Amino acid sequence: MTTPLTEHRVGRLVLSLPAEMRRAGQEHVLCSSVYVEEREWTSSNGYKKVWSDWLQKLSEQRSPPGVWEILIEQREIAPRCQAVLAHDNEHDRTIRTWFALLDAGSHGVWMKCAREHHAPEQALARLYAVARSYRPIEKRGSFLPESWFYLERGAITGFPLKGEYTSVQFEGAPLGPGHQLCVRVVPGAEAQSGHMGRLRRALALGLSEESTVTILQTGPRRVAGFEGEELIIQVETEDSEHLRWVWSYSGQPGALHAPCIELSMHAMGDAREEKLRLWENILESIRHLLPQPPAPWLQLL
Helix, strand, coil shares of the chain as percentages rounded to 5?
20, 40, 40
Residue 87: closest CA among 62, 56, 120: 62
What per-residue confidence (pLDDT) applies to 297?
A: 45
What per-residue confidence (pLDDT) applies to 2?
A: 58
CA 234 to chain CA centroid, nearest Å:
27
Q: Residue 256: left (phi > 0), alpha (psi -120 to 50), or beta?
A: alpha
* Burial call 37-67: b when 16+ CB within 10 Å, e when fewer: ebeebeeeebbeebbeebbeebeeeeebeee
What per-residue confidence (pLDDT) applies to 208?
A: 58
What per-residue confidence (pLDDT) applies to 164?
A: 86
SS3 sequence, 51-81?
HHHHHHHHHCCCCCCCCCCCEEEEEEEECCE
What per-residue confidence (pLDDT) applies to 262?
A: 93
pTM (predicted TM-score): 0.84
SS3 sequence, 193-210?
CHHHHHHHHHHHHCCCCC
What per-residue confidence (pLDDT) applies to 163?
A: 79
Contacts of 256 (CB under 8 A, 6+ apart): 160, 161, 162, 187
Q: Taking the chain (301 residues) in consecutive chunks of 10 residues, what is each chunk's mean pLDDT?
A: 80 93 94 90 84 91 87 92 91 91 94 86 90 84 78 85 86 88 82 57 57 87 94 87 92 80 91 92 92 55 51
Domain range summary for the chain, segments of one domain joined by +? 32-158, 166-288
The answer to whether the beta carbons of residues 163 and 7 sit under 8 Å apart is: no
Q: What CATH number was assigned to the domain covering residues 166-288? A: 3.40.1000.10
Rounded to an integer, what distance in angstroms lies between the CA atom of residue 39 and that of residue 157?
19
What per-residue confidence (pLDDT) applies to 190?
A: 60
Residue 34: closest CA among 137, 163, 133, 153: 163
